[in-house]
Structure 1
Amino acid sequence: MGQEFYRELAQQARGLAERADPFTRQRLLKLAGSYDVKGGNFARSSRPMERPLPIPRTTPPASIFSGPGEAG
């Protein structure tokens, strides 16, 4: 397979990543990086990956529970 073929695949993966959820975006960008290496484009593949978003809180902050007492 030619270098141009892998460059096109990398570009397609990046295009899909723009519209994907964060998990899929990360996987697609990693895939595009591997295509860059196969296509001979090393400068693009050395770009750092995006940082994942922080995990959302599943419990409310403790300040909600620190009231004067139970309502009666």
Structure 2
Amino acid sequence: MEEFYRGFAQRARDLAEAADPFTKRRLLDLAQRYDLKSRPGAASGRPLPTQRATPPTVLFSGSGEA
């Protein structure tokens, strides 16, 4: 999947070379977002959540009847 996004980022940069200033800026921003997605462990450019040391507590502990 990383290679897929890297290819899209390069394609956006290639298109930006021949674009007007407004479109060029947008394409370069798009390329940057694709670069973030292409990095392993960086889903959508956001850091991965930390793992808990203890399992989460059970919120409901009944038969489910009201």
TM-score after normalising by structure 1: 0.54
How do residues 1-72 of structure 1 correspond to structure 2 at under 5 angstroms? 2-40=1-39
Whole-Å Cα distance in 1 between the matches of residues 8 and 26 of structure 2?
14
Q: Give 1:5's aligned amino acid.
A: F
- Partner in structure 2 of residue 65 of structure 1: none
- Structure 1 Cα separation of the partners of residues 20 and 12 of structure 2: 13
Letter in 2 for 1:25: K
Count of residue pairs brought into register by the alignment: 40
TM-score by length of 2: 0.59
AA aligned opposite 1:24: T
Distance in 2 (CA, whole Å) between partners of 1:6 and 1:40 is: 9
Identity of aligned residues (%): 60
Paired with 1:36 and 1:12, the residues of 2 have a C-alpha distance of 12
Unaligned residue ranges in structure 1 (runs of 5+) = 42-72
Question: How far apart are residue 36 of structure 1 and its match?
Answer: 0.1
Rounded to whole Å, the distance in 1 between the matches of 2:32 and 2:20 is 18
Give the whole-Å Cα distance in 2 for the aligned partners of 1:12 and 1:3.
Answer: 14
Give the match's secondary structure for 1:20.
coil
Counterpart residue identity of residue 15, structure 1: D
Q: Which runs of 4+ in 1 moved over 4 A?
A: none
> Which protein shows a greater Rg?
1
